Amino acid sequence: MYNVYRIREDFPILKTTINGKPLIYLDNSATTQKPAVVIDTICEYYKQYNANIHRSVHYLGVKATEIYEKVRGDIAKFINAPNSNCIVFTKGATESINLVAYGWGRKFLKEGDEILITLMEHHSNIVPWQMLSIEKGIKIKFVPLNDDGSLNLTAFKELLTERTKLVSITHVSNVLGIINPIKEIIDTSHKAGAIVLIDGAQSVPSIPIDVQNLDADFLVFSAHKMLGPTGIGILYGKEDLLEEMDPLLGGGDMIKKVTKDYSVWADIPYKFEGGTQNIAGVIGFGKAIEYLNNLGLEHIYKHEKTLVSYTLKRLLNIDGIKIYGPTTENLRLNIISFNYKDIHPHDVATILDREGIAIRAGHQCAQPLHSYLGISASCRASFYLYNTEEEVDKFIEALEKVNMVFKNGNRRTI
Amino acid sequence: MEIEELYKEIILDHYQNPRNYGDLDLSSNFYRGAYPFCTAEGENSLCGDAIYLQFFIEDGKLIDIKFKGEGCALSLASASIMTEMVKGKTLEEIESLINKVKLILEGKEESSDELGDFQALEGVKNLPVRIKCVLLAWTVLEDGIRDYKKKISP
Ligand SMILES: Cc1ncc(COP(=O)(O)O)c(C=O)c1O
């Protein structure tokens, strides 16, 4: 039985008050809170077995290395990767995408090649490709959206040509909450001869993912959006792709042999992990994965769906709320972006903050999507496994307060 | 601080009924001899706030100003208040006013009556993330005046 009140007990921060009000944290797409077990595990590492990995033969070094490598295996299982060699530790989804852009793209893409992304991408899945395109003369094409914000699959198929070498696409939009049909996208892309990178930053925390069943070529995600610490993320890649990719960082730990004239790189995944790694981050992430496994992702997913459909229903009853993306919950995960009358999102967020409610306001690192929607900013409420319907009720009440502060008025600019 | 202390009546009034909003009427006789016609713009990339100013300077005095923009209540109210305050002042007076506004928002100086409606915005100094919203119009004007000076004495 999924008991959200019991789960909340595991999160120390949920007991804090903000401006004298209990914290209601609805900014989970930016980063999630951490359960005590994750925080304690990180402290334990520093207090009891802090040592560098892969380098020392002493007890502490061996223990730290063992746990670090065990986490790699746990993460491989979590996404059903064929083995742990396919799991590269990075500092986050952003670095993972950059690693593919430079390690793979720089090596294999040529002038005239095309990369297909979508209008709903996070900046981290746009900017690295733009940087690469300046260097390599490749072309970036954006798949447009349908009126409800969903991906225009007809246009996608038209844009996919023999020049397309890579399709890089988010599984779940961090603004619209839309779940993209990635299985279909991967199959179609493969038939056209392109490989596919899935940005799982928003989906891996809530949707069970099987990279082998999907036949994904790359999958990237960040620990901090799934109960883990900041500064740690994953690049999953098919073994043959990782094998042929170049590393980004040269240095210690990523080599087999160094001479004055040349070096031989280590095997995957180590050749991508130059320098001392974020050991505490990896160990903390391992605990987060264990916590998620204990709850069961399918239960978390169901919980979020229930909250989103409840919130949508309540929001749609408020006069002047404009919701972006589909208003039925079946296409959505845990995210709702909206605007309230012509009140600027920053004013909404400031007033909610006085009520102890944390939401996101701004362009949410998705400016091309916001321009497409014809707005410069939006408000975003996003849920995770510890949010409750009572919190949604408070959030809705607080929106009424926003309206009161603004006295129901609109702007007149004549 | 209660939220109503931030979103005071006066601020909402400037936000909802902005003063000096729109474009200057360039065909008007009033501006003959005034040279040059100045524009300045700036944005807060993080928020998407944007302010666009048009103004005329004659004999070292800012004789007219209008603004347009997009943004939160605080940034637009601040712009509206600013246009009222700077109109008719000399460039030196305006520059010292801009400095004063900055010091107030940094908490280094108290506001006083000479700051008129701007006093209502003083509470923002307790909300660091919003200070740049209030400052935007003022820094845009500061840049505009700097450009004007370069233009007349390069
Ligand atoms: C869809 C999506 N992709 C990528 C990222 C980047 O993640 P990180 O900042 O952890 O590298 C985010 C984070 O907001 C995201 O929402």
- Which of A251, A274, A293 finishes a domain? A293
Q: Judge whether A414 lies within some domain.
A: no
Minimum Cα–Cα distance from B77: chain A residue:
A411
Ligand 1 pocket test, pick from A91, A98, A100, A174 with the greatest ligand atom count within 8 Å of Cβ, gives A174
Residue nearest to atom 14 of ligand 1 (CA): A30
Q: What is the pLDDT of residue B32?
A: 61
**A363 and A259 belong to one structural domain:** no
Q: What is the pLDDT of residue A19?
A: 86
Q: Judge whether A321 lies within some domain.
A: yes
Which chain B residues are Cβ-neighbours of A343 within 8 angstroms?
Answer: 73
Helix (H, G, I), strand (E, B) or coil at B45: coil
Per the structure block, which two tokens stand in for A156? 């996608």
Q: Judge whether A258 lies within some domain.
A: yes
**A19 and A56 belong to one structural domain:** no
Instruction: Over range B130-140, report the average pLDDT.
Output: 94
Residue B128 in contact with partner chain A when CB distance is under 8 A: no
**In CATH, what number is assigned to the domain containing residue A393?**
3.90.1150.10
| ipTM computed for the complex | 0.84
Reply yes or no on whether the pLDDT at B52 is more than 70. yes
Cα distances from B75 to residues A119, B80, B97, in angstroms, run 29, 9, 17
Reply yes or no on whether the pLDDT at B101 is more than 90. yes
**A20 and A116 belong to one structural domain:** no
Minimum Cα–Cα distance from B72: chain A residue:
A344
Q: Judge whether A412 lies within some domain.
A: no
Distance CA B134, CA A52 (A): 48
* pTM attached to this predicted model: 0.92
Reply yes or no on whether the pLDDT at B29 is more than 70. no
Q: Is A86 a catalytic residue?
A: no
Closest CA to A332 of A352, A310, A349: A310
- Which of A236, A271, A293 finishes a domain? A293
B16 and A411: CB-CB below 8 Å?
yes
Q: What is the pLDDT of residue A56?
A: 82
pLDDT digits (tens, 9 = 90+) for B109-129: 988 888 899 999 998 998 888
- Which of A274, A293, A312 finishes a domain? A293
Pocket of ligand 1 (CB under 6 A): A 29, 92-94, 122, 124-125, 170, 174, 199, 201-202, 222, 233, 365
Q: Judge whether A364 lies within some domain.
A: yes
**A312 and A283 belong to one structural domain:** no
Q: What is the pLDDT of residue B30?
A: 64
DSSP string, B81-129: HHHHHHTT-BHHHHHHHHHHHHHHHTTSS---GGGGGGGGGGGGGG-HH
**In CATH, what number is assigned to the domain containing residue A271?**
3.40.640.10
Q: Please give the order of strands across the beta sheet that includes A218-222.
A: A87-90, A233-237, A218-222, A195-199, A164-170, A114-118, A139-143
Cα distances from A119 to residues A210, A371, B125, in angstroms, run 25, 10, 37
Reply yes or no on whether the pLDDT at B20 is more than 90. yes
Residue A57 in contact with partner chain B when CB distance is under 8 A: no
**A23 and A66 belong to one structural domain:** no
Strands A17-18 and A164-170: unpaired
pLDDT digits (tens, 9 = 90+) for A383-411: 999 999 999 999 999 999 999 998 866 67
**A245 and A310 belong to one structural domain:** no
Per the structure block, which two tokens stand in for A255? 């080599």
Position B37 confidence tier, pLDDT thresholds 50, 70, 90:
confident
Q: Which of residues 87-126 of B touch A (CB under 8 A)?
A: none
**A22 and A93 belong to one structural domain:** no
Distance CA A333, CA A302 (A): 10
pLDDT along chain A (414 residues), means of 10: 96 95 98 98 97 90 96 98 98 98 97 97 98 96 95 98 98 96 98 98 98 98 98 98 95 90 94 96 98 97 96 95 88 93 93 96 91 92 98 97 83 63
Residue A380 in contact with partner chain B when CB distance is under 8 A: no
Q: Judge whether A203 lies within some domain.
A: yes
B104 with B120: CB under 8 angstroms?
no
Closest ligand 1 atom to A174 CA = 16
Minimum Cα–Cα distance from B67: chain A residue:
A413
**A400 and A286 belong to one structural domain:** no
**A147 and A197 belong to one structural domain:** yes
**A308 and A385 belong to one structural domain:** yes
Domain count, chain A: 2
A304 with A383: CB under 8 angstroms?
yes
**A138 and A249 belong to one structural domain:** yes
Tell me the average pLDDT of chain B: 89
Residue B46 in contact with partner chain A when CB distance is under 8 A: yes
Q: Domain range spanning residue A267?
A: 38-293
Ligand 1 pocket test, pick from A122, A171, A175 with the greatest ligand atom count within 8 Å of Cβ, gives A122
Distance CA A413, CA B12 (A): 13
**A312 and A362 belong to one structural domain:** yes
Q: What is the pLDDT of residue B33?
A: 57
Q: Judge whether A286 lies within some domain.
A: yes
Residue A280 in contact with partner chain B when CB distance is under 8 A: no
Q: Which amino acid, residue B43?
A: E
Report CA(A232)–ligand 1 centroid distance (Å): 12
Residue A351 in contact with partner chain B when CB distance is under 8 A: yes
Reply yes or no on whether the pLDDT at B31 is more than 70. no
Closest CA to A281 of A112, A64, A19, A62: A64
Q: Judge whether A413 lies within some domain.
A: no
A71 with A202: CB under 8 angstroms?
no
Which chain A residues are Cβ-neighbours of B127 within 8 angstroms?
Answer: 350
Q: What is the pLDDT of residue A413?
A: 61
Q: What is the pLDDT of residue B5?
A: 81
Residue nearest to atom 9 of ligand 1 (CA): A94
B58 with B82: CB under 8 angstroms?
no
Domains in chain B: ranges and CATH: 3-152 (3.90.1010.10)
Q: What is the pLDDT of residue B46?
A: 72
